[in-house]
Amino acid sequence: MAISECPGCTFHIPLPPNLEEGDVMECPDCGAMVKLKSMNPPIFELVKED
């Protein structure tokens, strides 16, 4: 399973198998909303909530 680091807390988030580029999920450690910016390598970015 692919793992990518949370940009908010550096927790290593295991990627759900159905997650696709552009999908948003919640970091299980800090609760931040993170978007999968890139698939290869998997990179998360914080979602800015205005």
The residue ranges that bind Zn ion (CB under 5 A) are 6, 8-9, 11, 27, 29-30, 32
Which CB atom, from 27 or from 36, has the smaller least distance to Zn ion?
A: 27
CB of 43 to Zn ion, least distance (A): 14
Which CB atom, from 32 or from 39, has the smaller least distance to Zn ion?
A: 32
45 residue type, one letter: E
Conformation bin of residue 10: beta by default, left when phi > 0, alpha when psi is -120 to 50: left
CB of 38 to Zn ion, least distance (A): 17
30 residue type, one letter: C
DSSP letter assigned to residue 27:
-
